[in-house]
């Protein structure tokens, strides 16, 4: 089995998690890792939304899956577009890590100085920040997690926003404060690792056995709302679902780019209640005038 991955430290750490699970569960399968450079890795001088959103990190991996160059790709689910690439299949989701955003260093958003320079690559985080602190200078920051932290330490920014899961998976000890998900609603799929293969893959049976159902229930609800909204990573959207006892509790937010307008919705629905999720999306669109 050939596993395709980006070459960033986080991507490699997540791939190592998958390989370790495979080696433990299926020791008879030889697993080899192949690093692949993606558009998102190559082009770091422009904001992600200018590259078509986070799909820039998975497009080349999908192409290599379909062509047969690799059998499997390990992705951060939040990097994946709302609709899967033709010929690919979301075979498994590994147990989800914490979903929250964090601010580095350990400082409250309300404690930042007026006009403070805050770095983020996410239009969602930018809009959420501006919705509560329109005076901040929120600017784009690119690079992997350690690179962003280094840029902060070098004085280029007063603070940066990151996903808690990435910092945790890299084992980084960095002063930070967790942002409440009730306010800073996380990105769709944040904290989830997706295992993608070809449709009809010979490895599908093994891969599917690794699927973590609570994570699956959560992210399928989140991705359904995102799809119904017709949005992607170039639109400020947050959706977070939490699974318990056959139901999902879903919180969502849609914002204008400058954070001056927002719509929020929440619901509790049975797993697989597509109508309820679509209805949530319609209410959000109506509230934003869409």
Give the tens place of pLDDT for each residue, 43-67: 444 554 444 554 556 888 999 999 9
Q: Domain coordinates of the chain in residue numbers?
A: 1-94+192-211, 101-178, 212-290
pLDDT digits (tens, 9 = 90+) for 87-112: 999 999 999 999 999 999 999 999 99
Q: 38 pLDDT band (50/70/90 cuts)? A: low
Active site residues: 79
Q: For 21-30, what is the mean pLDDT?
A: 97
Find the helix packing angle between 145-153 and 9-25, rounded to 10°: 150
Same fold, 101-178 and 212-290: no
* CATH class held by domain 212-290: alpha beta
Side by side, the strands of the sheet bearing 237-244 are 237-244, 247-255, 262-270
CA distance 60 to 6: 10
* Per-residue model confidence (pLDDT) at position 158: 98
Q: Between 41 and 266, where is the model more confident?
A: 266
Q: 79 pLDDT band (50/70/90 cuts)? A: confident
* Per-residue model confidence (pLDDT) at position 142: 82
pLDDT digits (tens, 9 = 90+) for 227-285: 999 865 568 999 999 999 999 999 999 999 999 999 999 999 999 999 999 999 999 99
* pLDDT of 41 above 90: no
* Per-residue model confidence (pLDDT) at position 289: 86
* pLDDT of 125 above 60: yes
* CATH class held by domain 1-94+192-211: alpha beta
* Per-residue model confidence (pLDDT) at position 48: 45
* pLDDT of 27 above 80: yes
Total-model pTM? 0.90
CB 32 within 8 A of CB 3: yes
Average pLDDT, the chain: 92
Cβ-based burial of 226 (10 A; exposed 0-12, middle 13-18, buried ≥19)? buried
Count the neighbouring beta carbons within 10 Å of the beta carbon of residue 208: 15
Q: Which two tokens stand for residue 19?
A: 């390989």
* pLDDT of 132 above 50: yes
Nearest 10 degrees: Cα torsion 132, 137, 140, 146: -90
* Per-residue model confidence (pLDDT) at position 290: 67
Q: For 3-24, what is the mean pLDDT?
A: 95
CA distance 161 to 186: 12
Intra-chain end-to-end CA distance of the chain, in Å:
45
* CATH tag, 101-178: 3.40.190.10
Q: What is the largest CA-CA distance in the chain?
A: 59
């Amino acid at each position: 089995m050939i596993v395709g991955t980006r070459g960033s430290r986080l991507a490699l750490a997540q791939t190592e998690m998958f390989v370790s699970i495979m080696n433990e569960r299926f020791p008879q399968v030889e697993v080899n890792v192949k690093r692949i450079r993606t558009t998102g890795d190559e082009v770091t001088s422009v904001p992600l939304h200018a590259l078509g959103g986070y799909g820039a990190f998975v497009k080349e991996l999908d192409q290599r899956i379909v062509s047969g160059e690799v059998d499997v790709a390990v992705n951060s689910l939040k990097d994946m577009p709302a609709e899967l690439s033709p010929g690919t299949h979301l075979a498994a989701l590994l147990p989800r890590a914490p979903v929250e955003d964090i601010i580095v260093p350990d400082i409250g958003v309300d404690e930042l100085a007026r006009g403070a320079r805050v770095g983020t690559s996410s239009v969602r985080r930018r809009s959420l920040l501006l919705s509560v602190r329109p005076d901040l200078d929120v600017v784009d920051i690119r690079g992997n997690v350690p690179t962003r932290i280094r840029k902060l330490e070098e004085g280029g920014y007063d603070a940066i926003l990151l996903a808690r899961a990435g910092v945790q998976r890299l084992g980084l000890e960095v002063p930070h404060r967790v942002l409440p998900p009730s306010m800073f609603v996380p990105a769709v799929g944040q904290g989830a690792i997706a295992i993608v293969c070809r449709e009809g893959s010979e490895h599908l049976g093994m891969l599917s056995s690794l699927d973590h159902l609570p994570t699956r229930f959560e992210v399928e609800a989140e991705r359904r709302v995102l799809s119904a909204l017709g949005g992607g990573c170039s639109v400020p959207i947050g959706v977070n679902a939490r699974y318990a006892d056959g139901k999902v509790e879903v919180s969502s937010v849609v914002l204008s780019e400058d954070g001056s307008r927002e719509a929020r919705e929440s619901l509790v629905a049975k797993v697989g209640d597509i109508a309820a999720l679509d209805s949530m999306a319609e209410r959000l669109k109506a509230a934003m005038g869409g």
